[in-house]
Amino acid sequence: MKSKDEQPWRELGLTGEEYERIKRELGREPNLVELNMYSVMWSEHCSYKHSRAALRRLPATGPRVLQGPGENAGVVDLGGGLAAAFKIESHNHPTAVEPFQGAATGAGGIIRDIVAMGARPVALLGSLRFGPLEDGRSRYLFERAAAGMAWYARETGIPVAGGDIYFEESYRGNPLVNVMCVGLLPVERLVRGRASGEGNLVLLAGAPTGRDGIHGASFASVELTAEIEEEERPPVQVGDAALGKALMEATLEVIEKGLVVGVQDLGGAGLSCASTETAARAGSGMELDLDLVPLREEGMAAYEILTSESQERMLLIVEPEKQAEVAAAFTRRGLYCEAIGRVAGDGMVTVKHHGETVARVPAKSVAEGAPVYDPASREPSYFRELASFDPLELPREEDFNGALLKILSSPDVAGRAWMAHCAGGQGVEADEGAALLPLPQGRAMVVAVAGNGRQVFLDPYRGAVFAVCEAARLLACAGAEPLGITDGLNFGSPEKPEVYWQFKQAVEGIADACRTLSLPVVGGNVSFYNEVDGEAIYPTPVIGAVGLLEDAAKRCGTGFSEDGDLLYLLGADSVTLGGSQYLKSCRGRVAGALPTIDLDLERRLLELLRRLTGEGLLRCARALSEGGLAAALAKCCLRGRRGAAVKLPATERPELSLFGEGPTRVIVAVSPESAARLEALAREAAVPAVILGQAGGEKLRIAAGARELVDLPLAQLEKAYREAIPCPTP
């Protein structure tokens, strides 16, 4: 057995068994350059070696799917010759170390993924998680990350169309920055990251290559420690949004002109990933000469050039006779575009540096040959203990006005004006649910993100089901038909049985919900090792959904818009205080069982909402989420600048009626003339519809039987809701 000093693969994050596998693949000992290529490509970040087996459970096909998992992004058909490319990615570890650049390059990377499919990015959505705002470090990370994402969005001209954000103790040292990008393309312009055509040229376009981000993929595949965060300053990518904008426009120009065979973003693992993945997908090989790579630093070693994650770079596969025209599109925008190699037919990626062959590896082995693990899985000890807690054993709530104000001022619930502020006026408030993006012929694409890590912590299966259903419900409230989802799965170390149990349960929940709702998962991202000093984050699946609204003029709002409108609660009546915002904000507890969900009722509710919108019956539709019925009513009042009077049945525990949470619930407002039709359609769909009251006035008033519970002026609600999260400094 070799001594530790003679086992360089261990320092590169490979196990002894993986090293032996590499030797078998090559039929010899790998050299250090080859070891570096394997180490980044077989890292968890690139290979998904601990998640691939579980992810096979997810449905990935559907009548609208043009491209599923395995490419830079998923693509669905919008009809009318248009398609949508979309994906969600995480940049968690870099944000923990350098929040501005971590979030900015997270946005830049996902933008390039969309561009590489031939799509013009039209919206970004951020799904962010930080520690408690009262903690100085957490506030710093939040403010700098929000500013970094918004800066890149502003400079590239892509609006921040919304998102969500939560502040929990478990994210204190390991924030999550998940960014979703959505783009539009003509169906015939769809391109893929494939190095097809022996003899075609391999062009590297964009910014020069430096040492930033070297082994960033490996860094994303280990746990954080306090020393890494504050002292070691590991590789963090550095973005240049102006170059990112130029690269986007140049790449779209050459794609639109039909000048490229394949396109691949250079993100995690840099040139190692782009070269081996494009060759592996095409069943080809590639010859690279690193002496031709534009560098911005002297003396870079071959492994550094191959694993650098310098930003704003694209790999293009181009027929030789089109090289000059392609290069011109980049050079006139101040970007490099150099031929660094050619497509080969032998299935090998051969790399030369200073005239010598420094690596020769099978493309499929590096890109697709990592082992697939099925780690041990064990239910955590906390699971049944927390599920057995009954919130109704707590003392009765006496101050319902105070409780509602406390919930509305919680950073998890409060207004998101800061997001639009940071985006330079481009954004919309994330608490308004789904974002509407206009399409030709009066149609619209509708996008949303959802996911509550606290719920998934308490019940990974149900919490993940809830996330899928909430994302789809947000689209349905806008009248849209969901076409597909992308998932960002953020968990601790998969090598810990309790964490892997959470992961497997969550994937099962996503799979079951997607099958019932006929929602294909067209792509996504898995981020493991989100831990600090052995303490894992809440398991946090984030679901991004894309839908189609055939008549954008029929989309209703999320606020009460007319005095006298009748208010209904559509959907399930099953709620609990387990895992609720009320329990966290007002009682300081994270415990309790989540409510059950009837997926068939969820499906019927989504269909009913689309039919109600199609008939133009709805004036307002808002999905219930954190804070339950009372918080949703308050948001509807604030959005429409109009009060409401609501009467609920008498109950011994009004806090359950007001603040209890459960899936499959939507508040809608209709004119009195439309009420009978709404009730008839709800009966036909077998969806419960309960009248709550009427919109109007300057207050939100909620009674249960003869007892008045909430009586609050809109101005007081507004102050609590709008001032909880001050706008971060741009």
> What confidence score (pLDDT) does residue 217 get?
45
DSSP H helical ranges for 517-569 = none
Q: pLDDT at residue 3 above 80?
A: no
Residue 410, domain member (yes or no): yes
State the average pLDDT over residues 192-199.
97
> What confidence score (pLDDT) does residue 621 get?
97
Claim to verify: residue 197 and residue 336 sit in the same structural domain: yes
Look at 445 and 414; give whichever has higher pLDDT. Answer: 445
* Confidence at 473, pLDDT banded by 50, 70, 90: very high
Claim to verify: residue 411 and residue 298 sit in the same structural domain: no
Most confident of 92-101, 267-276, 672-681: 672-681
Beta strand 74-79 pairing with 82-90: antiparallel
DSSP H helical ranges for 572-674 = 581-587, 599-614, 628-640, 654-659
* Confidence at 9, pLDDT banded by 50, 70, 90: confident
Q: pLDDT at residue 282 above 50?
A: yes
* Confidence at 4, pLDDT banded by 50, 70, 90: very low
Question: For the chain, first and last CA: distance in Å?
Answer: 55
State the average pLDDT over residues 371-390.
96
Residue 262, domain member (yes or no): yes
State the average pLDDT over residues 267-277.
93
For residue 332, the domain's CATH number is 3.90.650.10
Contacts of 332 (CB under 8 A, 6+ apart): none
468 touches 518 (CB < 8 A)? no
> What confidence score (pLDDT) does residue 232 get?
42
> What confidence score (pLDDT) does residue 13 get?
86
Residue 709, domain member (yes or no): yes
Claim to verify: residue 688 and residue 629 sit in the same structural domain: yes
* Confidence at 7, pLDDT banded by 50, 70, 90: confident
Catalytic residue list contains 215? no
Residue 625 carries which DSSP code? -
Q: pLDDT at residue 101 above 60?
A: yes
> What confidence score (pLDDT) does residue 425 get?
44
DSSP H helical ranges for 157-269 = 216-219, 226-227, 241-256
Claim to verify: residue 287 and residue 398 sit in the same structural domain: no
Domain that holds residue 245: 24-56+191-371
| Percent of the chain with pLDDT strictly greater than 70 | 93
Q: pLDDT at residue 76 above 60?
A: yes
> What confidence score (pLDDT) does residue 432 get?
63
Residue 618, domain member (yes or no): yes
Q: pLDDT at residue 581 above 70?
A: yes
> What is the residue type of 162?
G
State the average pLDDT over residues 673-678.
98
Claim to verify: residue 277 and residue 241 sit in the same structural domain: yes
Beta bridge partners of 166: 129
Residue 517, domain member (yes or no): no
Q: Is the dihedral of CA 410, 446, 75, 251 positive or negative?
A: negative
- pLDDT tens-digit series, residues 142-184: 999 999 999 999 999 999 998 899 999 999 999 999 999 999 9
Contacts of 438 (CB under 8 A, 6+ apart): 444, 552
Q: What is the CA radius of gyration of the chain?
A: 26
Claim to verify: residue 321 and residue 401 sit in the same structural domain: no
Residue 569, domain member (yes or no): yes
State the average pLDDT over residues 717-727.
85
453 touches 166 (CB < 8 A)? yes
Smallest CA-to-CA distance from 436 within 550, 604, 522 is with 550
Q: Which of 50, 91, 93, 215 is catalytic?
A: 91
> What confidence score (pLDDT) does residue 430 get?
42
> What confidence score (pLDDT) does residue 109 get?
94
State the average pLDDT over residues 107-113.
95
> What confidence score (pLDDT) does residue 427 get?
42
CA distance 667 to 643: 14
* Confidence at 268, pLDDT banded by 50, 70, 90: confident
Q: pLDDT at residue 226 above 60?
A: no
> What confidence score (pLDDT) does residue 685 get?
98
Residue 449, domain member (yes or no): no
> What confidence score (pLDDT) does residue 10 get?
86
What is the residue-averaged pLDDT of the chain? 93
Claim to verify: residue 679 and residue 710 sit in the same structural domain: yes
Catalytic residue list contains 353? no
- Using the 3D structure, point to which of 336, 371, 406 is the last residue of a domain: 371
- pLDDT tens-digit series, residues 32-69: 999 999 999 999 989 999 999 999 999 999 999 999 99
70 touches 55 (CB < 8 A)? no
* Confidence at 191, pLDDT banded by 50, 70, 90: very high
- pLDDT tens-digit series, residues 523-573: 999 999 999 989 999 999 999 999 999 999 999 999 999 999 999 999 999
Q: Which of 45, 50, 93, 215 is catalytic?
A: 45
**Structural domain tally of the chain?**
2
Claim to verify: residue 226 and residue 330 sit in the same structural domain: yes
38-52: b or e for each residue (b if 16 or more CB lie within 10 Å)?
Answer: bbbbbbbbbbbbbbe
> What values do phi and psi take at 312, rounded to 5?
60, 50
Claim to verify: residue 686 and residue 575 sit in the same structural domain: yes
State the average pLDDT over residues 70-84.
96
CA distance 320 to 315: 15
Claim to verify: residue 239 and residue 333 sit in the same structural domain: yes
Inter-helix orientation angle 136-156/241-256, to 10°: 40
Claim to verify: residue 295 and residue 259 sit in the same structural domain: yes
Residue 119 carries which DSSP code? P
Residue whose entry in the numeric block shows the structure tokens 């052995």: 534
Number of H helices, E strands in the chain: 27, 27
Cβ neighbours of 684 (radius 10 Å): 11
Residue 154, domain member (yes or no): no
Q: pLDDT at residue 2 above 80?
A: no
CA distance 641 to 560: 7
575-598: b or e for each residue (b if 16 or more CB lie within 10 Å)?
Answer: bbbbbbbbbbbbbebbbbbbbebe
CA distance 521 to 225: 33
- pLDDT tens-digit series, residues 431-463: 467 999 999 999 999 999 999 999 999 999 999
> What values do phi and psi take at 596, rounded to 5?
-75, 165
Claim to verify: residue 578 and residue 630 sit in the same structural domain: yes
Q: pLDDT at residue 30 above 60?
A: yes
* Confidence at 426, pLDDT banded by 50, 70, 90: very low
- Using the 3D structure, point to which of 371, 406, 428 is the last residue of a domain: 371
CA distance 329 to 251: 8
